[in-house]
Structure 1
Amino acid sequence: MTLRAGLVGLGVMGRNHGRVLSDLEGVEFVGVADPAPTAPKTVDGRPVVAEVDDLIALGIDYAVVAAPTVYHLDVGRQLAEAGIHALIEKPVASTAEEARVLRDLFAAKGLVGGVGHIERYNPALQVARQKIEDGLIGEIYQIATRRQSPFPGRIADVGVIKDLASHDIDLTAWVAQQEFISVNARTAHRSGRPHEDMVVAVGTLAGGAITSHIVNWLTPFKERVTVISGENGTLVADTLTADLSYFENGRIQVSWDPASFRGVSEGDMTRFALDRREPLRVEHEAFRDAILSGSTAGIVSFDEGTRVVEIAEQMVTDGVERRLTRSA
C-alpha cells in the first residue's frame, strides 16, 4: 500500500521533511501547504498551496506538520477532523493544555499521531538504549545531558526549554525507560527576548536515577552530549557525530575495609561501531510503519509528547530564581 503524504510548513525543518518525503519508500509526496507570500509555487514538482484545507483536498493519508508551534493545535485539529494522521514537529503544542486537546482529538478519531522528537532516532541513543536493556551498565544511577549552541534565528515563539530541552526530557525518559517523577530548574533571560534562553535542570526518574540538564542558546559552539552512568560503567553518546562510547568500571581487588569509601576506578573503554543512518529518515520510516500497522510502539506518541510539554512547563514555572534567606 502506498500512502499519500502532505507537508505543512516550508521553514528549515519543513524543507528537510520535504527532502525525505520526496523519495521515501511506500510514500507518495503530493504537496505542501504554506501561506507565506514568498513560498514557491512548487517543491520538487509538487504543488504548494496556501491553506491546509487545500492540501487536504489533494487527497492525503497523513501530513507532516513543520509549521511554527503556535499553529500546531489549529492545523492538527483540521487534520483530525478530516481523518488524516499527523506527524507534528516538537513540541507537539505551545502549551500542555493544547497538547492534551490534540492527543484526545486524535485518539477519539482512531488516528495515529506522532511527535518529531528526532533524537530518539539518533543511532548513538538507539544503541545506548539497547545496551542498557542488555544489562551492560546495570542499574542506571544518573543521566546528564548538555545541549548548547548559538541562538537559532528560526525560533521565535517558544523558549529554549520547549525548543531544545524538550529533546532531553524525551530522550532521558525513553533511553532509561523510566518516567520523570520530579523536576527542578533555574532559567535565565540574557538575549533580550521574552522567552528563557538558558536553563539548568535536575530531575528524578521513577527507578531512582537522578538527571541533570544544561541547555542554552548562548554558547559559541554546538554540543549535544548524553552521559549515562550506571553500576558497571558509563555510556557517552555524542548525537552530533552519532558516536557512542562505553567506559567500564575497573576490575581491581579492594582490601577489606568496611569503613572505607568504595568508589570505582578506570577500566576499559570501547567505542562502538554504529550504522549511521539519518535520524530524520528513520523517524519517517517509523511513522509510515505506524500508520500501516496501527501501532505506535516505534514512534513518539501524542501521549508521550504531551508529557514532555507538561514537564517543560514545570521547568519554566520553576525557573524563577529563589533567593536564600540568611538566618540571624
Structure 2
Amino acid sequence: MSRHANHRAFISRCRFAVSVAALMRVGVIGVGSMGQNHVRVYSEIADVVGIADPDVKAGGVVSNRFNVSYYTDATHLLKEELDAVSVCVPTEHHAKVALDVIRAGIPVLVEKPLAATVEEAKRIVDAAKQAGVTLAVGHIERHNPAIAAVKRHVQEGQYGDLVTAAARRVSSFPGRVRDIGVVMDLGVHEIDVLRYLVGAPVESVFALGGRKLHGNFEDHANVLLRFHNGVHGFVEVNWLTPMKVRKLALTCLKNFVEVDYTEQSVTVSSSTLGPLDPFNLYQIPLEHHQQKIHVRKEEPLRRELEDFLNAIREKRPPLVPGEDAVETLRVAIAATESHRTGKLVQLT
C-alpha cells in the first residue's frame, strides 16, 4: 500500500466559494474511465480523501494528477473517515465492493448497472436499508438537463399523452468495456430513461440482436418495451456505428419531441394541415411549428454527484435510488434473455 502526503487544499474550492469545513469527505473505488471522472468532479465539490484500485498504474496516474491518497486495497480506504464513496469497479465486482462499503456504514453511489444480477442488486438494496445508509445508482442520463426538462413537461401534460418513446444510442466499440454486452452497457441508459419518463412498470420485453465483430457479448440490439399504461418503447443500441449518436424521440398526442443528449437540446414540433387538394398530393399544405426549448447546459455527472451528496446531507432519497435501479436491471436482463431465446419475456 502506498500513500501520498496528506493534503486538503484545492484551488477549485475557492472558485466555488465552499468552506473546507462544509466539504464532505469522499472516496472513489475503481479509477478506470468512469472512476477517474468521479475523482475529477469530486475534487471540485468535495474533499477527496483517497482512491482505491488494484491497478497500480491507473491508481498512480489519478493519485498524482489530483494529489490524493492511493490504496491498492479498498479495505484500507474504508478505514478512513468518509462521508461518501463512489463504486466504479467492473460490474461483476459491484455487489462485493458495494456491500463492503455499506458494512462500513458509509453512504454509497454505485455506477450503473447496480449489479450483474437482480439477486445481487437486491442484496445491495436490502443491506443499505438495514444499515440506514444512502444508496444511489449512477444512471447518469436522468441528470441530463434535457431529460430533466422533458420529464417536467411530460408530467405537466404539455405535450399531450405519451404514445411511444424511441431511443438511439450507438457508437464504435469502447475499449473500456470488458465484462458486459451492449445492452447492459448502453441499453441500460435508455431503458432507465424510458422508465423514468413513462412512469409505469415495464410489462414485457422483446429483443433482437447479435454479435457482428465481438466474440463474447452482443454488440448490437433492438429492444421493444411494452409498459403497463399502454406506452410502447423502442431502444436501438450498438458498438458498430462509426459515429456517436445519443438521441431520444417522443411521440405525444400534441407534439413530437426530440432530445439530443450530447447537445442537451430539446426540439418540440407539431403541424397543421390546411385545405387538401386530392389531385395534388405532391404539395400538401402542411404548416410546421417548431420550438427549441432552452436548456442550461451542465455536466450530468456533476449534477449526479451533487444530488448524491445533497441526499446524504438532507437525509432524502437520491434521484436514482437502489429500488429503481433494480427495476431497470430487471428489464435489461430480460432484454438479454429475449435476445438469447428469441422469445418475448413477460415481466408482470
Per the TM superposition, whether the score is higher than 0.5 is yes
| Structure 1: 4+ residue segments shifted above 6 A | none
Shift in CA distance, 76/249, structure 1 to aligned 2, threshold 3 Å: same
Give the corresponding residue for 2:81: 59
Q: Does 1:303 align with 2:323?
A: yes
1:1-328 pair list within 5 angstroms: 1-24=22-45, 27-38=46-57, 39-40=59-60, 41-250=63-272, 267-296=288-317, 298-320=318-340, 322=342
Gaps of 5+ in 2: 1-21, 277-285, 344-348
Q: SS at 2:25's partner residue?
A: strand
* Deviation, structure 1 residue 42: 4.0
Q: CA RMSD in A?
A: 1.9
Larger proportion of helix: 2
Once the 2 structures are TM-superposed, how far is the Cα of residue 178 of structure 1 from its aligned partner?
2.1
Q: Deviations over 1:22-49 (max 9, x none)?
A: 010xx32111011113120544121111
CA distance in 2, matches of 1:18, 1:239: 23
Shift of 1:58: 1.8
In structure 2, distance between residues paired with 1:77 and 1:191? 35
Measure the CA separation in 2 of the matches of 1:136 and 1:53.
Answer: 50
Equivalent position amino acid for 2:305 in 1? H
In the TM superposition, residue 76 of structure 1 has moved relative to its aligned partner by 0.6
Q: C-alpha distance in 1, partners of 2:271/2:74?
A: 55
Instruction: Name the % identity.
Output: 29
Aligned counterparts of 2:52 and 2:99: Cα–Cα separation in 1: 15
CA deviation string 1:100-133 (max 9, x = no partner): 1111111111111111111111111111111112
Aligned equivalents of 1:96 and 1:191: distance in 2? 28
Contact 1:232 1:249 in 2 (8 A): no
Provide structure 1 residue ranges, at least 5 long, that are not aligned to the other structure. Answer: 255-264, 324-328
Residue by residue over 1:189-244, the C-alpha shift from the partner in whole angstroms, topping out at 9 and shown as x without a partner, is: 11232111111011112221111111111111110110011100111000011111
User: Over residues 158-206 of structure 1, what are the superposed CA-to-partner deviations in whole Å (9 max), with x where a residue is unaligned?
Assistant: 1111111000110001122222111111120112321111110111122
The superposition leaves residues 238-282 of structure 1 with CA deviations (integer Å, 9 ceiling, x where unpaired) of: 00111110012426589xxxxxxxxxx653100111110111111
TM-score, normalization: structure 2?
A: 0.86
Task: Tell me, in whole angstroms, the C-alpha distance in 2 between the residues paired with 1:232 and 1:184.
Answer: 28
Q: What displacement does 1:134 show?
A: 2.1
1:119–1:279 Cα contact (<8 Å) kept = yes
Q: Does the 8 Å contact 2:204/2:225 carry over to 1?
A: yes
